[in-house]
Amino acid sequence: MKTNYLVLGGKGKTGRKVARKLTELNQNVRVGSRSETPSFDWENPETWSNALEGMDRVYITFQPDLAVPGALEAIEGFMKVAQQKGIKKVVLLSGKGEREAELCEQVVINSGVDHTIVRASWFNQNFSESFFLDPILAGHVALPQAEAKVPYVDTDDISDVVVEALMNDKHNGEIYELTGPRFLTFAQVVNEIAEATGREIAFTPISLPAYTKMMEDFGVPSDYVWLINYLFSEVLGNKANEIITHDIEKVLGRKPKDFSAYVKETAATGVWNQGVEV
Contact 58, 5 (CB under 8 A): yes
DSSP alpha helices (H): ranges in the chain?
15-24, 48-52, 71-84, 99-109, 133-138, 155-167, 186-197, 208-217, 222-230, 247-252, 259-269
Report pLDDT for 239.
75
- pLDDT, residue 276, reads 67
User: Which distant-in-sequence residues (6+ apart) come within 8 Å of 154 by Cβ?
Assistant: 123, 124, 125, 180, 256, 257, 261, 262
> What letter would DSSP give residue 170?
G
pLDDT at 242: 85
CA distance 226 to 218: 14
Q: What's the pLDDT tens digit per position in 221-252?
A: 898 899 999 999 988 877 777 899 999 999 99
Checking if the pLDDT of 89 tops 60, the result is yes
Domain 4-120+154-178+243-256 = CATH 3.40.50.1820: no
User: The whole model's pTM is what?
Assistant: 0.96
Contact by Cβ (8 Å): 94, 101: yes
User: Which stretch of DSSP H or E encloses residue 127?
Assistant: none
Q: What percent of the chain lies above the pLDDT cut of 90?
A: 90
pLDDT tens-digit series, residues 115-145: 999 999 999 999 999 889 999 999 999 999 9
Res 1: pLDDT? 75
Task: Give yes or no for a cis peptide into 64 (omega within 30° of 0).
Answer: yes
Rounded mean pLDDT of the chain?
95
The answer to whether 164 touches 135, Cβ cutoff 8 Å, is no
Mean pLDDT for the stretch of residues 54-69: 96
How large a percentage of the chain has pLDDT more than 70? 99
CA 56/CA 88 separation, integer angstroms: 5
Residue 234 is given by DSSP the state: I
Mean pLDDT over 100-108 rounds to 97
Segment 76-101 mean pLDDT: 97
Domain boundaries, the chain: 4-120+154-178+243-256
Cα–Cα distance for residue pair 9/64, rounded to 1 Å: 10
Q: Comparing 50 with 130, which gets the higher pLDDT?
A: 50
pLDDT at 277: 58
- Residue 213 pLDDT more than 70? yes
Exposure letters 133-163 (e unless 16+ CB within 10 A, then b): bebbbeeebbbbbeebbbbbbbbbbbbbbbb
